[in-house]
Every structure is written in structure tokens, then in C-alpha cells.
């Protein structure tokens, strides 16, 4: 008997028919003799709808009331799945974060899990009852409702796996596993049997939507066995592992992309202190500037370019205008028409060949690299949005990732 | 300074624009120097949608998981209204039932409020913060989520008014107040300035949707000043009072109707014990048979006719089939094409004239009375559904309720 955490995402629980299918998947694991706790997301589309309501009423700051609104989606699904399991003759009940409790800090819409009490859930297991835990939500010490940020149900699942010492954490999605690139954009994308935590973390951080980056980090830290599976098919999925054999010729494991970012350039900043003021001002407001590039100009001034989430843009521009008044640079140029493409692989560690292939491939297609940044196992470039698909496909081929489709 | 409970129903909070209007109504009371707690329903249509999900997954029994699903609707509105109030510069936060707590028994989907703790809300008042309480929901001793049944937000509001010793409980709806009949069906229906608790209770019990019957009962018991107002207009509304002057010529205060019931007739029941078995069997399953009529037949047998909620019919028929096997009557006849019309008024106490007018008026139109039942201040008749509108209009005229429209 193994103890499993099964997590089902929004498309897996999108409607009553899908919920019945999820109930059958859970039953199969129970029938195989396993002990199962389930974590569910909100039905597909619901969270976006709730966000739009809250945003319409309060376009600027995010308060804990946003979290109260957003957390309701997972509540619905947890109750419905418990009903679907009861219908199959299984004992089941829903658990909301405050009932467990899943204790978090009080950061609105991006709370961090501090502790998960296991007593309630262990009691549920002892009674042969299947707990269906509402993902994404938490509760503060002061009994306020919080949410864990986008993809937060993955974090709930992994944190539960840690707390309950589960043997495996299975993340059910609408894709068969982790792919070398988004199969909707890259025809020859292929499914990976395994991927390392580190690679998965980089891909998730850089736009691969299959897993939330923070949950991968948590799984890596606690060595939680993580699998990505489809609730729509019975294929094998992808297992996230600690180490894997470097297959001949594959320096790169996958390519991620995102078009959620905008490029901001500040012109003619007078001195070095200005830089700190700018990035500091954004950081104070929890806005993260990424891929920061400074061009020193001849007259002692410099230009600063960085990338922000598009969703942070409305908040950022007034902040930058304030800094502009204080330290006096000449212009703020915003470009939303960009894409970031990231190639990721443990095989690229200290391998300069990657950079060469990447630049050569893009140059041959006349695609200009606007910014570049690297980590130990990742290389990201910002390009013009209109070249995104082409860049993905040609890089996928250039790094020998194409599946040999018959 | 008065302490007010303001309750807003589903159409009053149906969308973002309506929520902003509700926030302005709340602000007006705050600006007038009052202390305000708000109770909200789910956005119009949401509860029905959630019920349909739950019903699709679990068509037979109702469990506490239904309540977990249903309670989410009020959670959304409470968070959203708190945001709308914050936007107007007011301090506000949402309260879910478990945060207060509003303690109930554990009856799924028809829980009764046992106690409301006031500490949290009084603290909120002290901080000049406006609590926005999610209506309709409660929490059990064992920290399970419950709901209070249809219209339960009214009960939340009145129970809060009692617990917080509020000066007034204002129920905001999409109509201007309590009418002598449904204005959508009766053109000459007029708004009442006042109505007694007893009359309001009877009207609400017999189909008038403006207030939940149980909440009226609670208000009557604790003498809570209750007003019915519109969030769509600034008209005066209706005040529910203990006693009112009988206006000359108006024996009747209003006419309610419902088409949610079905008539069941059981044929050739052998003996008296059978009756108890039948009604007892339904009652055991929380199904309430109303307007029970027994016709004794010459051979010692009898027919039994009663009225049930249509929504209970699917559960009731199998139960009646079981009883039929045990005690052996010959047939179960179900008629869903009925309407129940109830005339209500404190003026009709021991006034036989009412029955005379009612029968005469309906007879003149060729409308057959199938069942009749009375309480001290109410007279209800079951008629064919197709005559409902006609009966409402002619009785409204016959009892001198028609407004003198110019």
C-alpha cells in the first residue's frame, strides 16, 4: 500500500462529466489498495472570472478580500468531487484550508505555506475516508483566508505530500506529461519520460504551464516523487527525478516560452544611484524586474532595460514616473510586443556550444536577440513577439529535440 | 446613531455595477452616522447553478458536501462587496460563517442557527470597520460548513439583528416592498406601507418570495424591526410591524400564490392505521405533506389527498410505493398541474364572509376549488394551474385590494 496525493487541475474538473472521470481515477487507486488524498483546483475558467469581478471593483491594490473571492472556486470543486466519490460508494469528504488547517503568511494572493497540520487528515485516513482538499487556499494565524498565487494548487499538493509523507504526488493535467516544447506551437515536440527537478523548475519558471515553479522547488527540496499525468488518457506521463542519464546528443531538455512580459527601457539615467532607486522602487511594491541590462553611454549617463510581467505594468509606470521626477531621466519606453524563449537542460552546464547554436539559428532566420540572460542550466532570450513560433520551431530542430514522427 | 443590519439579495448583487450601487447605499447609512453590518446573498443565478452541479453528481441524498458547494456563492459576494466598500474609502472586511462563528446544527441544506458569537463583529465595529457577512451559511460544532435553506440569507440577517441588538434590519430586494399580490401577475397590485409579522409570515410561507418565512418568524419572536426596501430605487418600502390599524374595507392584506406543489391522491386505503403509516413515512424523510384531506368511502376504505413540494416528488413516490405494498391501497395519482392561492389578513379572524366571497368569486368564473385549508389569518385553496392568473386577479378585485391607478 502506498500513500498517494492526487492533484487535479482546472480542465480535469471543468464540468460534471470530468469530475465523474476524476472520481473513477481516484477509485482505481483505492481499488489497487492505496491510501489517497486528493487536491483540486477550481473548475477551468472560474478563477479568471472571479479575478475579473474583483479587478473591476478594485483595479489597484490587492487585499485579502481578493483571496476570499478567489478561494471559493476550489471550495466548489472539493465539495463536488466528494459527492462524486460518495456516488461511487466511497467514503469521502471535502477539506477547506481552515478545516485542516493549512497555515500561511498573510500576503494577499501570494501567501506562502508555513505549516500543514496532519491530525484531521490522518483521522480521515484512519476512517477509510478520502479527503478532497481544496487547493490554492490557506488560512492565516488570524483566521483570514489566503490564496497561494497562480498554480497554487500544485503547491498545496506537494506541501501535503511532504506533510503526510506521501510516497508519490501525481499531478493530473490536460496534457500527457512534460513536453520538449508546447505541442500546440511545435509540431515535433515530444513527451519526456523523465526530467530533473532543476530542469522542471527552470521550464516552469520560464512559462511552461504544466507545473507551478514553486511547487517543483518544494518537491526538489523534500525529494517528493512527482509525476505529471493526464486525466484525459491513460498514457505514462512524465516523472520528475533527481538525476537522469544524459542521452547522447541532447544538451537541451526543453524549450519554454512566455509572452506575459513587457520590456521597459529608461533613457539617459544620470548616475549609478539612479539604478538602485529604480529597481528598489519596483521591488518595494513586490514588482520583480528581470533580465536587467545597463548600457553606459559616453556622457556618464546610461540606459536601463528590463523585463516586467505585463500584469504589473499598470502599477509600474506611475512608480517609474515618480522616480523619473526625482532623479531625472528623459524617457520611459514600453514594448509589450516581446516574447521570451528559454532553452533548459542539465546538459548545457558550462557548455558554450549552446549559445553559439542559439545565436546562429536565430540569426539565420533574421531574428534579433534583444536581451539575453543565463542561469546554470538555462539560456533565455527576448525577441520580437511576431517571431515567437518560428524561433521555437527552429530552435527545437537545432537542439535535436524533434520527435521522429512516422 | 442607530445600529443597522442591511441585507442585499441576489439581484441586488448580481454584477459589479449592482455591487457598486449597494456600496453607495451602505455609504449613505454610514455618512448618516449609523453603524452598519451587511449581509449578502450569492449573485443572482449562482446558487441555482451550484445546485444543478451537485444534483447532477448526486441526485438522491443531500449531504453536507452540498452545503460546501452552495456556501461558496455568498463567500464570493462578501469579498466583492468588501472590495467595493474599500474602493469608496470605507474600512470593510468580509466575514464567513466560521470566522464569526455562526453556529448551526448539522442538518444538510436546512441547518438551523443555534448561536451567533458577537465578539468578532463587535471588534470590527469598534475599529469603524464595516463587516460584510456571507449570508445563508453556518458552521457546525465540528467545523463543517452548513447552509440554511432557500432564502437563508434573510435568516442570517434577522439572527444577526437579534445577536447584535440592532435597531433595524433592512432587507433590500429588487421590488419596492411587499405587495398585495405579485405585481407581475396582478396589474392592480399595490405596495403595502405596513404589514404585520403574522401576515408577512403567512404570505411568505405561501409563496410570496420577498422574505423567507423562517426569518419573519424569528423577527416576530424577537420583535426585530424589519423593513423591505429596493436597492434599485429610493422609494419607502414596507415596514413589518406588530399591530396595524385595520383599514376600512380591507379584510385581506395580500394574496400569495405558488405553483411549486403537486397534489397526490392515494385510492382505497383499507384502514385508519394506513394514514399514519403514509404520512409518517414521508415525515421520516423530512418530506412535509400539507393540506391533507381524507374522504371516507362507504366500504370502510378511504382516499387520501395531500399536497407536496414538486421537488420532493421524486423521493416521495418510491416511499409511497413501499407503503402501498405494506398496507395495500390501490393507486397513487399525482397531479402537478395545480396552483395554491392563499388570501391572508388579520382582518379575517373569525370572519366567515371571507370564505363566502372566495367561493362565490371563483364559482362565478367556473374555477373549481380542489382542496381548501385555513389558519387563523389565512385561507388557501388548490385550483387548476391554468386558472391561476385569473383567480389571482378576480380575488384581488373581490377583496378590494385593487390600487386606484389613474
B53, B87, B144: residue with CB nearest A58: B87
Task: Work out the mean pLDDT of chain B and round it to a whole number.
Answer: 92
Specify the range with the lowest mean pLDDT, choosing from A38-47, A347-356, B204-213: A347-356
What percent of chain B has pLDDT above 90? 74
Q: How many domains does chain A have?
A: 1
Q: Is the pLDDT of residue B365 over 70?
A: yes
Mean pLDDT, to the nearest integer, of B137-160? 96
| B226 within some domain | no
Is residue A71 in a domain? yes
Grid cell digits, residue B158: 434577522
Interchain proximity A75–B96, CB inside 8 Å: no
User: Residue B86's closest chain A neighbor by CA?
Assistant: A58
Contact B40, B136 (CB under 8 A): no
Enclosing H/E stretch for B57: helix B46-57
Is the model's pLDDT at B70 over the cut of 70? yes
Element (H, E) at B258: strand B254-258
DSSP assignment string, A41-107: -PPTTHHHHHHHHHHHH-SS---HHHHHHHHHHHHHHHHHHHHHHHHTT--EEEE-GGGTTEEE---
Instruction: Confirm or reject contact between B51 and chain A (CB < 8 A).
Output: no
Signed CA dihedral, B354, B355, B357, B358: sign only: positive
Per-residue pLDDT band at A405 (split at 50, 70, 90): low
Any residues with CB less than 8 A from the CB of A284 and at least 6 apart, and which? none
Nearest to B84 among A57, A78, A94 (CB): A57
pTM over 0.90: no
Classify strands A35-40 and A371-375 as parallel, antiparallel or unpaired.
unpaired
A21-30, A234-243, A300-309 — most confident range = A21-30
Residue A246 pLDDT > 80: no
CB pairs under 8 A between A and B: 105
Confidence category of residue B247, pLDDT binned at 50, 70, 90: low
Rounded CA gap, A130 and B31, in Å? Answer: 51
**A133–chain B nearest CA distance, Å:** 12
In a domain, B191, yes or no: no
Q: What is the CATH number of the domain that holds A34?
A: 3.40.1160.10
- Taking the mean position of all CA atoms in its chain, how far away is CA B183? 17
Of B337 and B272, more confident? B337
B21, B24, B69: best to mutate for the A interface, most A CBs within 10 A = B69
A131 within domain boundaries = yes
CA–CA dist B43, A249 (Å, integer): 57
Instruction: Examine residue A87 and state whether it is found in any structural domain, yes or no.
Output: yes
Nearest to A339 by CA among A379, A376, A392: A392
Identify the closest residue of chain B to A66 by CA–CA distance.
Answer: B79
Kindly write down the DSSP assignment for every residue of A247-312, as one continuous string: -TT-S--EEEEE--EEEEEEEEE-SHHHHHHHHHHHHHTT---EEEEEEE-TTS-EEEEEEEEGGG
Q: What confidence tens digit (pLDDT) does each residue in B283-304 have?
A: 888 888 888 888 877 787 888 8
**Yes or no, beta carbons of A63 and B83 under 8 Å apart:** yes
Q: Are strands B238-241 and B254-258 parallel, antiparallel or unpaired?
A: unpaired
Average pLDDT of span B178-193: 93
The residue behind cell 370564505 is: B355
CB B356 within 8 A of CB B348: no
- pLDDT tens readout for residues A74-114: 999 999 999 999 999 999 999 999 999 999 999 999 999 99
Cβ–Cβ under 8 Å, residues A109 and A70:
yes
Name which of A86, A94, A96 is nearest B58 (Cβ-Cβ). A86
Element containing residue A333 per DSSP (H, E): strand A331-335
Domain-located, residue B312? no
Whether the pLDDT of residue B54 is over 90: the answer is yes
pLDDT of A149: 92
What was the pLDDT predicted at B25? 97
Q: Which pLDDT score is estimated for A245?
A: 65
Residue B39 located in a structural domain: yes
CA distance A116 to chain B (A): 17
3-state DSSP percent of chain B in helix, strand and coil, to 5? 40, 25, 35
Instruction: Count, in order, helices (H) and strands (E) of chain A.
Output: 11, 20
pLDDT band at B110 (very low <50, low <70, confident <90, very high): very high
Say how far apart CA A159 and CA A217 lie, in whole Å: 11
Consecutive H or E run containing B34: none
Higher pLDDT, A244 or A252: A252
Contact B80 A99 (CB under 8 A): no
Confidence check: pLDDT of A248 > 60: no
Cell readout for B177 is: 416592498
Question: CB distance B54–A83 less than 8 Å?
Answer: yes
- How many residues in total does chain A contain? 406
Whether ipTM tops 0.90, in short, is: no
Q: What is the pLDDT of residue B347?
A: 77
- Lowest model confidence (mean pLDDT) among A13-22, A323-332, B364-373: A323-332
Share of chain A above pLDDT 90, in %: 74
B80 to chain A: which residues are within 8 Å by CB? 53-54, 57, 65, 69
Question: Averaged over A329-335, what is the pLDDT?
Answer: 92
Identify the band that residue B393 occupies on the pLDDT scale cut at 50, 70 and 90: very high
* HSE-up (13 A, CA, CB side) for residue B257: 25
- pLDDT, residue B276, reads 75
| Residue B399 counted as domain residue | no
Residue B40 has which C-alpha cell? 449578502
Instruction: For residue B76, give the nearest of A56, A63, A72 by CB distance.
Output: A72
**Looking at beta carbons, which residues of chain B come within 8 Å of A49?**
none
Nearest to A86 among B63, B82, B145 (CB): B63
Contact, A256 vs A206, CB < 8 A? yes
Q: What is the mean pLDDT of residues B379-403?
A: 94
Q: How far is the C-alpha of A146 from the C-alpha of A102, rounded, in Å?
A: 10
Residues A380 and A254 sit within 8 Å (Cβ to Cβ): no
With beta carbons under 8 A apart, name residues in chain A contacting B144.
Answer: 99
CB contact under 8 A, A80 and B54: yes
What confidence category does residue B403 fall into, taking pLDDT thresholds of 50, 70 and 90? confident
CA distance A21 to chain B (A): 11
* Cβ <8 Å between B69 and A50: no
Range of the domain at A17: 3-174
pLDDT, average across residues A61-78: 95
Residue of B74, B75, B78, B79 to mutate when probing chain A, most A C-beta within 10 A? B79
**Cβ neighbours of A84 in B, within 8 Å:** 57-58
Nearest to A181 by CA among A376, A378, A392: A392
Give the rounded distance of the alpha carbon of B123 from its chain centre.
32
A374 band by pLDDT with thresholds 50, 70 and 90: confident
Between B117-121, B165-169, B230-234, B293-297, the lowest mean confidence (pLDDT) is in: B293-297
Find where cell 414521508 sits.
B282
Is a pLDDT exceeding 70 seen at residue A250?
no
Confidence at residue A351, expressed as pLDDT on a 0 to 100 scale:
73
CB A349 within 8 A of CB A377: yes
Give chain A positions within 8 Å (CB) of B94: 65, 68
Residue A247 has pLDDT above 70, yes or no: no
A88 touches B: beta carbon within 8 Å: no
Provide the CA B200 distance to its chain's centre, in angstroms.
10
pLDDT band (50, 70, 90) for residue A290: confident
pLDDT at A197: 95
CA distance A271 to A247: 49
| Lowest-confidence segment of B133-147, B161-175, B278-292 by average pLDDT | B278-292
For residue B63, give the chain A residue with the closest CA.
A83
Residues 6+ apart with CB under 8 A from B202: B256, B342, B344, B375, B377, B378
Tell which wins on pLDDT, B138 or A252: B138
pLDDT, averaged across chain A: 92
CA distance B378 to B202: 7
What is the distance between the alpha carbons of residues B220 and B110, in angstroms, rounded to a whole number?
20
- Spatial distance between the Cα atoms of B332 and A292, rounded to a whole number of angstroms: 79
Nearest residue, CB atoms, B72 vs list A72, A82, A83: A72
Nearest neighbour of A87 by CB, restricted to B58, B68, B72: B58
Q: Is the pLDDT of residue B406 over 60?
A: no
A chain contacts of residue B95, beta-carbon cutoff 8 Å: none
DSSP element (H, E) containing B294: strand B290-296
**Residue of B112, B102, B108 whose CA lies nearest to B133:** B102
A78 touches chain B (CB under 8 A): yes
CB-based contact A76 B72, cutoff 8 Å: yes
Q: Where are the beta strands (DSSP E) in B119-260?
A: 130-134, 137-139, 145-147, 168-173, 194-196, 226-230, 238-241, 254-258
Amino acid at each position: 500500500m502506498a500513500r498517494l496525493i492526487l492533484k487535479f487541475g482546472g480542465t480535469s474538473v471543468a464540468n460534471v462529466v470530468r469530475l465523474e472521470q476524476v472520481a473513477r481515477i481516484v477509485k482505481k487507486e483505492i481499488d489497487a489498495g492505496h491510501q489517497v488524498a486528493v487536491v483540486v483546483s477550481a473548475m477551468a475558467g472560474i478563477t479568471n472570472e472571479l479575478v475579473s469581478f474583483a479587478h473591476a471593483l478594485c483595479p489597484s491594490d490587492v487585499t485579502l478580500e481578493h483571496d476570499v473571492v478567489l478561494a471559493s472556486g476550489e471550495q466548489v470543486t472539493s465539495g463536488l468531487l466528494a459527492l462524486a466519490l460518495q456516488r461511487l460508494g466511497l467514503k469521502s469528504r471535502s477539506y477547506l484550508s481552515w478545516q485542516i488547517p493549512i497555515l500561511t503568511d498573510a500576503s494577499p494572493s501570494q501567501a506562502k505555506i508555513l505549516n500543514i497540520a496532519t491530525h484531521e487528515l490522518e483521522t480521515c485516513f484512519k476512517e477509510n475516508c478520502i479527503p478532497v482538499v481544496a487547493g490554492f487556499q490557506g488560512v492565516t494565524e488570524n483566521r483570514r483566508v489566503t490564496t497561494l498565487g497562480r498554480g497554487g494548487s500544485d503547491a498545496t499538493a506537494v506541501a501535503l505530500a511532504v506533510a503526510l509523507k506521501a510516497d508519490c504526488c501525481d499531478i493530473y493535467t490536460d496534457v500527457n506529461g512534460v513536453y520538449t516544447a508546447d505541442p500546440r506551437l511545435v509540431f515535433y515536440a515530444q513527451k519526456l519520460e523523465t526530467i530533473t527537478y532543476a530542469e522542471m523548475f527552470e521550464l516552469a519558471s520560464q512559462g511552461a504551464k504544466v507545473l507551478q515553479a514553486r511547487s517543483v522547488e518544494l518537491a526538489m527540496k523534500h525529494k517528493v516523487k512527482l509525476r505529471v499525468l493526464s486525466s484525459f488518457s491513460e498514457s505514462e506521463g512524465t516523472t520528475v527525478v533527481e538525476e537522469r542519464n544524459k542521452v547522447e546528443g541532447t544538451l537541451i531538455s526543453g524549450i519554454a516560452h512566455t509572452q506575459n512580459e513587457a520590456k521597459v527601457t529608461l533613457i539617459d539615467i544620470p548616475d549609478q544611484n539612479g539604478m538602485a532607486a529604480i529597481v528598489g522602487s519596483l521591488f518595494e511594491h513586490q514588482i520583480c524586474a528581470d533580465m536587467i541590462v545597463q548600457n553606459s553611454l559616453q556622457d556618464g549617463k546610461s540606459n536601463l532595460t528590463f523585463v516586467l510581467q505585463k500584469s504589473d505594468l499598470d502599477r509600474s509606470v506611475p512608480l517609474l514616473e515618480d522616480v523619473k521626477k526625482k532623479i531625472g531621466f528623459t524617457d520611459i519606453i514600453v514594448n509589450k510586443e516581446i516574447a521570451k524563449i528559454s532553452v533548459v537542460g542539465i546538459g548545457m552546464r558550462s557548455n558554450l556550444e549552446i549559445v553559439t547554436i542559439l545565436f546562429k539559428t536565430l540569426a539565420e532566420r533574421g531574428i534579433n536577440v534583444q536581451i539575453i540572460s543565463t542561469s546554470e542550466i538555462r539560456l533565455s532570450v527576448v525577441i520580437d513577439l511576431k517571431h515567437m513560433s518560428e524561433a521555437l520551431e527552429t530552435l527545437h530542430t537545432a537542439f535535436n529535440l524533434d520527435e521522429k514522427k512516422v
